Amino acid sequence: MSELQTAFQAAVIASQQRSQRPDNATMLRLYGLYKQASTGDNKVPKPGFSDMVGRAKWDAWNKLQGMPAEDAMQQYIDAISALDD
């Protein structure tokens, strides 16, 4: 496992252990970065109109189309670190 992947996994664990939940916009950004880093480009069909949460998550991930996994990992790590500032 590369150093970046190790740091990414540590950031994921740190995000799950936070005592305070970030605001919704930050949560969506983190979700999109996580999915892009771990899965790659979004190939899942867009959820139906009545699934507002699912659509927001899908949109957050879909905005990152084409971003390399390494960039998404680093941005996720940076975003989690910024929450602690």
pLDDT tens for each residue of 43-69: 999 999 999 999 999 999 999 999 999
Q: Which two tokens stand for residue 67?
A: 């971003």
In degrees rounded to 5, what are phi and psi of residue 38? -95, -25
Mean pLDDT (whole number) for 16-32: 95
| Residue owning tokens 């930050």 | 26
| Predicted model pTM | 0.94
